[in-house]
Amino acid sequence: MVAAVPQIKHEVKDLALANVGNQRIEWAGREMPVLKQIRERFAKEKPFAGIRLVACSHITTETANLAIALKSGGADALLIASNPLSTQDDVAACLVADYGIPVFAIKGEDNATYHRHVQIALDHKPNIIIDDGSDVVATLVKERQNQLSDIIGTTEETTTGIVRLHAMAKDGVLTFPAMNVNDAETKHFFDNRYGTGQSTLDGIFRATNVLLAGKTLVVAGYGWCGKGVAMRGKGLGANVIVTEINPVRAIEAAMDGFRVMPMIEAAKYGDVFVTLTGNKHVIRPEHFEVMKSGAMVCNSGHFDIEIDLESLGAKATEVREVRNFTQEYIMPNGKSIVVLGEGRLINLAAAEGHPSAVMDMSFANQALACEYLVKNKGKLEPKVHSIPEEIDQNIAVLKLKGMGIEIDTLTDDQIKYINSWTVGT
Ligand SMILES: NC(=O)c1ccc[n+]([C@@H]2O[C@H](COP(=O)([O-])OP(=O)(O)OC[C@H]3O[C@@H](n4cnc5c(N)ncnc54)[C@H](O)[C@@H]3O)[C@@H](O)[C@H]2O)c1
C-alpha cells in the first residue's frame, strides 16, 4: 500500500513498488553494521543540517541505506542513477514514498533521460556531490560555473571517476576538494576485489545460467576488480586467462597461477570474456573476428566503452534478444557473438551489484568523507584528497566488531621495538 504520496518531485517507475523496496532495504541493512552505527550517530549530531547534497550512485538497497543515513544527519539529499541500467525500481519507489527522498532514476532509462537527470541533480544546487564515475562533477565544471561557489566538495566512488578528477585537477578546473573514496583501503580491497569478483559472476550467471566449470574465462585487466573476478572464476573451475598492458600486474597474474597473453590470442580460446580495465575498446573488431561462435562478452568496468559494440553492431546481420540482458549478434558468416548487459556493468545490469557487506565499508567511507568535507569546509585545497587514515582504520575496527572478530594489540615492548632504530635484531 502506498501511503499519502509525498509532495516531493521525483521520477521513479512505480511508487506502488515501495513496500517491496522497503523490505529489501531493511534486509541489506542487516549486513551493514558500520553504516548503521554511523547513521545512529548522524541522527544525534546532525552534521549535515542545512547542507544540500546530491548522490549520483547505483540506486540499490545499499545506496538506500547510505541515503537514509545522510538524511538522518540532516542532509537535504537528492538521488540520481549513475548508470541507466543499475536502478532497482522498488528501492527508488521506497526512498520517495517512505523516506521523502527525491529520486530521479528508472531502470532502463535512455541516455537522454540519464543526462536530464544529471541536470535535475545540479538544479538542486548541491553543496556536496557524491559521484560515481564523475558525470555530475564533470557537467558542473563544464556547464554550471555559476554554481561552483556553492560547492563544499565532492566524494568519488570509483576508479574511473578518480581518473577523471585527476585530469580535471591537471587542467586547473577542479576548484573544490574531492575525496578519493575509491582508494581507501576499506573500499577497494573489498568492494573492487570481493564485491566485483562475486557480483560480476552473479550477473553472468543470472543473464545466461552458463556453467563456468571447464570453460575458458578471459579477464581483461588485473586491477582490483580483475583480480576478484579471476580468483572467483578459478574457484568455480574455470580455466582463467588474463590480459594486461601493465607489466607488473601481468607478472602478478602469472604468479597467481593464470595464463597471461594478449587479447588477440586469448580471443581464440575464450568462452566467456569480462572487461574490467576502465579503458576503451579493449575488445574490438580484430578480436571478434577470431572468437569462437557463441562466445559471450561482457563488461564490469565503469563505462560501456570497453567493448566496441558499435563496430560489432555495424557488422552484424541480425541482433536478437535471446534472454533478459542477453543479445546475440549474428555475423555475415553465420557466427554468433553473445553480448551481456548491453556492455554495461554486468553485475548491476543483470544482478544486484555488490553484496551489502562490502558496500557497508564503501558507503561508510562515503558518509564519513562527506562529514569530513563539512567539518573542514574552506580549509581543504582544491585537489583530490585521500581519505584520512583514521577514517579508514576506524571503519576497519567497526567492521571487525560487526563480524565478531578480535585481533591482537601491540605490547609496550613491541611498540618500543618498531619505533626504535637502536634496538637491533
Ligand atoms: N563492476 C563494478 O561494480 C565496479 C566496482 C569497482 C570499480 N569498477 C570499475 O572497474 C574498472 C576497473 O577498476 P579497478 O579498480 O580494477 O582499476 P585498476 O586501475 O586497479 O585496474 C585496471 C587494470 O586494467 C589494466 N588495463 C588498462 N587498459 C587495458 C587494456 N587495454 N587491456 C588489458 N588491461 C588493461 C590496467 O593496467 C590495470 O591493471 C574501473 O572502470 C572501475 O571504475 C567497477
CA distance 165 to 380: 16
Name the H helices within 61-126.
61-72, 89-99, 111-123
Mutate to test the pocket of ligand 1, among 183, 298, 299, 302 (most ligand atoms within 8 A of CB): 302
Q: How far away, in angstroms, is 192 Cα from ligand 1 center?
A: 9
Segment 194-222 shows an average pLDDT of 98
Residue nearest to atom 5 of ligand 1 (CA): 192
CA distance 196 to 347: 7
**Is residue 421 very low, low, confident or very high in pLDDT (cuts 50, 70, 90)?**
confident
**Is residue 168 very low, low, confident or very high in pLDDT (cuts 50, 70, 90)?**
very high
pLDDT in tens, 355-390: 999 999 999 999 999 999 999 999 999 999 999 999
**Is residue 8 very low, low, confident or very high in pLDDT (cuts 50, 70, 90)?**
confident
Of the chain, the percentage scoring pLDDT greater than 70 comes to 98
**Is residue 393 very low, low, confident or very high in pLDDT (cuts 50, 70, 90)?**
very high
Res 4 pLDDT > 70: no
Q: How far away, in angstroms, is 369 Cα from ligand 1 center?
A: 23
The reported pLDDT for the residue numbered 425 is 65
pLDDT in tens, 42-71: 999 999 999 999 999 999 999 999 999 999
pLDDT in tens, 251-269: 999 999 999 999 999 999 9
Residue nearest to atom 39 of ligand 1 (CA): 223
Task: Kindly list the distances between the CA atom of residue 9 and the CA atoms of 104, 295, 400, in Å, as whole numbers in the listed order.
Answer: 9, 44, 40
Report residue 228 as a C-alpha cell.
Answer: 576478484
Residue whose C-alpha is closest to residue 203's, from 409, 342, 1: 342
Res 2 pLDDT > 60: no
CA distance 77 to 116: 18
Helix or strand holding residue 320 (H, E): strand 318-323
Residue whose C-alpha is closest to residue 310's, from 289, 285, 338, 337: 285
The reported pLDDT for the residue numbered 423 is 76
Residues 6+ apart with CB under 8 A from 25: 61, 64, 65, 68, 91, 94
Q: Measured at the alpha carbon of residue 57, what is the angle toward residues 54 and 61, in degrees to the nearest 5?
A: 110
CB atoms near residue 182 (< 10 Å)? 24
Q: How far away, in angstroms, is 147 Cα from ligand 1 center?
A: 32
Segment 115-133 shows an average pLDDT of 97
Segment 82-87 shows an average pLDDT of 90
Q: Which residues line ligand 1 (CB under 6 A)?
A: 158-160, 188, 192, 196, 220-226, 243-246, 249, 276-279, 282, 300-302, 345, 347
pLDDT in tens, 302-349: 999 999 999 999 999 999 999 999 999 999 999 999 999 999 999 999
Res 12 pLDDT > 70: yes
- Average pLDDT over all residues of the chain: 96
pTM, rounded to two decimals: 0.91
Atom of ligand 1 nearest to the CA of 225: 16
Res 31 pLDDT > 70: yes
**Is residue 1 very low, low, confident or very high in pLDDT (cuts 50, 70, 90)?**
very low
Q: How far away, in angstroms, is 395 Cα from ligand 1 center?
A: 24
Res 10 pLDDT > 90: yes
Res 164 pLDDT > 80: yes
The reported pLDDT for the residue numbered 187 is 95
Q: Which has the minimum average pLDDT: 4-8, 261-265, 285-289?
A: 4-8
Residue nearest to atom 10 of ligand 1 (CA): 301
The reported pLDDT for the residue numbered 53 is 98
Atom of ligand 1 nearest to the CA of 282: 31
Segment 233-241 shows an average pLDDT of 98
Res 5 pLDDT > 70: no
